[in-house]
Amino acid sequence: MTTSSPRGRRVRRPRFPLRWRIAFAFAVVSLAVTGLLAGVTWHLASGFLVAKREQGATTQAAVDVRLVQDALHTPLAGSPDDLLTGLAGGRDITIAIRDGGTWTTSGRPLDLGALPDELIGLAAAGAPARQRIRAGGIPVLAIAMPLPGQAVYVELVPLAELDSTLRFLSIVLVAGVGVSGLLGLGLGGWAGHRALRPLIELRDAAARVAAGDLDARLPEHGDADLAPLAATFNRTAEDLQRRVRRDARFAADVSHELRSPLTTLINAVAVLRRRRSELPPTAQQAVDLLDADIHRFQKMVIDLLEISRDDTIDQRDLEWCDLADVVRHALAERKGITVDVDGGLPRLQIDRRRLDRVVGNLLDNADHYAGGAVRVGVSADATRARIEVDDAGPGIPIELRQEVFERFARGGTAGRRGESGGTGLGLALVARHVRAHHGRIWIEDSPAGGARVVVELPRSPEP
């Protein structure tokens, strides 16, 4: 059953990776080619061996029947039993003569009742005949030749050795086809990896750029088809890096230029607030709105300055910190929030200033948009440490859980005025600082009913 999106478009079902499709294609082609060769080899080899065996047995039977005819026409010859015993001795065959409904046999005992009536009938009518049958549980070649007086000479040649040879040949051919399929699969996997390695390098480099590492570049290729692709990607990455740095410098310059007039405005608003009681009600309301916007503007300028800084963490800023202590320090002025520490007190080598900002912004975001934080969890295992912040809000829809980490993303509070409104940069700064620590951040549903913001940071072995 096919599924469709809300707009009516069909959703593509997941397919095997291209590398495995190439490997399977190699295996199928290898199986088809070797299977065809094996079939032709089996047909030619089995036909040749069977024809050779039948021809040899028929020639020998013709010689034997001539001897029998000569013996029957020579009065001084011994009895037919002695003659048949001499012909069959040491050859592992069965020789029989039917004369007047009576069988005289010699050699390997076999059930003569398995002989087809058509075969005996043709020989009795004067026409030599041969047929492959099973007698005594083994395959045999039955050769019937006419004798004078409507007598019939029958020679049964066992084909067990030929059958065993053909069975061994079939096993070898089938095993060869199977091995060729495995070799084709392995060769296809190797060829697919070699052919797709430039695409894998491109994917990895693009993922690094998407994660914020603008220094990612593709290695230069000597291949005439791949060199333009690598050059184009590297040129695009360099242009993007220059643009991001230019925008960051612009934001930093603007923020620095705004700090002086902003400080003047803050001081002026402070004077107005001290004399608020002397103003008419309309002017008091205007002063309140101006004070709230000026403080929000000040926070936005500080956040812009933070964003304009380089993502790279200076190794001199790293220090060993207790993650639980960092969280407790951020919660020192907040009451009624539960702190759960699971798995001991994890220590991380981090930039303490950035991590303080991460926890503080998560708590501020919960205060501004989700009714405040209700729980903060800290846990760790051997490789990663985890911070969880649960809020009292209605939760965040799945389609918006990535958008909230973008700059100036404020959701339904966009356009509101007052102290409760944020700048839309808090979670963007959090994601930036988490990525600088090579960590991850995402949003999931909280068991309490709201949203849970999860931060995972890698742990380094302590010295």
**Residues sharing a CB contact under 8 Å with residue 218, sequence separation 6 or more, in sequence order:** 198, 201, 202, 205, 229, 230, 233, 234
Sheet holding 94-99, edge to edge: 102-107, 94-99, 151-158, 138-147, 129-135
- Predicted local distance difference test score (pLDDT) of residue 3: 45
Are 113 and 163 within 8 A, CB to CB?
no
Query: Any idea where the domains of the chain sit in the sequence?
Result: 21-165, 227-307, 315-458
Q: What is the block-wise mean pLDDT of the chain (463 residues), using blocks of 10 residues?
A: 46 68 90 94 92 88 82 60 62 79 78 81 85 84 85 87 91 94 91 82 83 78 78 87 79 74 83 83 86 80 69 72 83 78 74 86 85 86 86 86 75 47 73 85 88 88 63
Comparing CA positions, the residue from 222, 22, 55 lying closest to residue 130 is 55
DSSP state of 308: T
- List 296's β-bridge partners, or say none: none
Token match 């005289």: residue? 104
CA–CA separation, 28 and 30 (whole Å): 5
Distance of alpha carbon 404 from alpha carbon 411, whole angstroms: 7
- Which letter, b or e, does each residue of 152-171 get, where b requires 16 or more Cβ atoms within 10 Å of its Cβ? bbbbbbbbeebeeebeebee
What pLDDT is stored for residue 118 in this prediction? 86
Nearest Cα neighbor of 242 from 215, 264, 263 is 215
Indicate the CATH number of 315-458 among 1.10.150.120, 3.30.565.10, 3.40.190.10, 3.30.465.10: 3.30.565.10
Quote the pLDDT of residue 176: 93
CATH 1.10.1760.20 holds for 227-307: no
- pTM here is 0.51
DSSP secondary structure, 309-367, as one string: S-SSPPGGGEEEEEHHHHHHHHTTT--S-EEEEESS--EEEEEHHHHHHHHHHHHHHHH
SS3 call for 392: coil
Of 374, 389, 383, nearest to 343 by C-alpha is 383
CA dihedral of residues 408, 412, 414, 420 (deg, nearest 10)? -100
Nearest one of 394, 402, 400, 413 to 440, comparing CA atoms: 402
Kindly give the interhelix angle for 80-88 and 18-73, rounded to the nearest 10 degrees.
150
State residue 332's pLDDT score.
79
Q: What's the CATH class of domain 21-165?
A: alpha beta
Say whether 135 sits in a helix, a strand or coil.
strand
